[in-house]
Amino acid sequence: MTDTTEQREARHPSRLLAALRKIGATLGQIAFTMVGLLFVTFVIGRVMPIDPVIAVVGERATQAQYQAAYEAMGLDQPLFVQFIQYIWDVMRGDFGMSLLNARPVAEDIARVFPATLELATLGTIIGVAIGVPLGVLAAVKRGTWIDQTARVVALIGYSMPIFWLGLVGLLIFYGILGWVGGPGRVGIFYVDVVPSVTGMILVDSALDGNWTVFRNALSHIVLPASLLGYYSLAYISRMTRSFMLEQLSSEYIITARVKGLSERAVIWRHAFRNIRVQLITVVALSYAGLLEGSVLTEIIFAWPGIGSYITTALLSADMNAVLGGTVVVGLVFVCLNVFSDLLYKFLDPRAE
């Protein structure tokens, strides 16, 4: 019996209402998470043993100058009022002024974040391109020397300190062999040669058609990106192997093999297809980890990214820069989680 027009029309409002509720719930979760992050950073900024007024006016300021700055910064207001003002400032993209260079923190973050984004993106691409096939191969060849080698490779990636690998990599591939460029994003002779459009030197040099700068920048990024990629593939390959082992032991895989499907079809069309949604979370977490956790790599390779920016600001007691960078990193985590949820629904319509 077919549905009547009235029945179909009656279902449309309910579907629309359900969709609006899901969107509202997602937006509510994002807002709640961001408010919680802002609350934590606000509290940190207040409990740190650093007087923000002294940092601005200096230790030789008079009491009148100190009091004027204290009131101008709104520190005489109740904490609740200060927190509301802090939220409003962040929503407007105002993280205050940096004490190191007297520039808006938002401008500094916009300048340094593309460098981290470029490095983490290339590292994630390397990690996915090698880690996923390695994890699948290890699962298919379970118990063989291939599986053991893959597990050892992942174990080394987990165990070795990344700063030690970075120093050894610089010594061997730059200092001794000369295969890669040294610290920094580009050679000193190519600084500011291409116009900054995206802030990512590889993209900007390609857009400008300056392939000399592109090759030089590539030689500088390949080693730190490979180290981050190795760290990423250690996690991705291990999780891929675990997911694939679970699928390969399922009954539908046995049925597919009994029906005579090729091993390639069984592995990639059936088993791997069913772990894509799980891998999204793994890759998203790995990517987010590289975006905020590449501090040591950036310091070793003199990479002017947000990790080294926050570290320098922290050592200089520039709390506006530290808290601004922390909020941006937290926002990146939230955005990646939302993006992974959207991919869930695209790859698996059954996901609620």
* Pick from 32-41, 137-146, 221-230: least confident: 32-41
Predicted local distance difference test score (pLDDT) of residue 350: 55
pLDDT category of residue 15 using cuts at 50, 70 and 90: low
pLDDT recorded at residue 93: 81
Is residue 247's pLDDT more than 60?
A: yes
Predicted local confidence at residue 295, as pLDDT: 79
Question: How many residues appear in the chain?
Answer: 352
Asked if residue 86 lies in contact with residue 69, where contact means CB atoms within 8 angstroms, the answer is no
Question: For residue 108, is pLDDT > 50?
Answer: yes
Q: Contact at 8 Å (CB) between 139 and 329? A: no
Domain boundaries, the chain: 5-91, 105-347
Q: What pLDDT band is residue 268 in, cutting at 50, 70 and 90?
A: confident
Q: For domain 105-347, which CATH number applies: 3.40.50.1820, 1.10.10.10, 1.10.3720.10, 1.10.10.60?
A: 1.10.3720.10
Predicted pLDDT at 13: 59
User: Quick check: 263 pLDDT over 60?
Assistant: yes
Q: What is the pTM of this model?
A: 0.81
**Average pLDDT in the chain:** 82
Question: What is the phi/psi pair of residue 104, to 5°?
Answer: -60, 135
DSSP assignments along 49-76, one per residue = S--HHHHHH-TT--HHHHHHHHHHTTTT
Q: Under 8 Å CB-to-CB from 30, ≥6 apart: which residues? A: 334, 338
Classified as helix, coil or strand, 318 is coil
Q: Is the pLDDT of residue 73 over 80?
A: no
Res 10 pLDDT > 60:
no
| Partners of residue 104 on adjacent β-strands | 97
Radius of gyration of the chain (CA): 25
d(CA 124, CA 293) in angstroms, rounded, equals 13
Instruction: Say which residues have a Cβ less than 8 Å from residue 236's Cβ, sequence separation at least 6.
Output: 127, 128, 131, 132, 135, 279, 282, 283, 286
Q: Give 5 or 87, the one with higher predicted confidence.
A: 87
Is a pLDDT exceeding 60 seen at residue 271?
yes
On the question of pLDDT at 81 being above 50, the answer is: yes
Confidence of residue 223 (pLDDT cuts 50, 70, 90): very high
- Residue 93 Cα distances to 172, 247, 327, angstroms: 43, 46, 11
Yes or no: say if 119 and 306 are a contact pair by the CB < 8 Å rule.
Answer: no
Alpha-carbon dihedral sign for residues 254, 258, 259, 261: positive
Read off the pLDDT of residues 121-131 as tens digits, 9 standing for 90 and up.
999 999 999 99
Structural contact between residues 300 and 168, judged by C-beta atoms closer than 8 angstroms = no
Tens digits of residue pLDDT in 274-332: 888 888 888 888 888 888 767 788 888 888 888 888 888 887 777 788 888 888 888 88
d(CA 121, CA 291): 8
pLDDT of 4 above 80: no
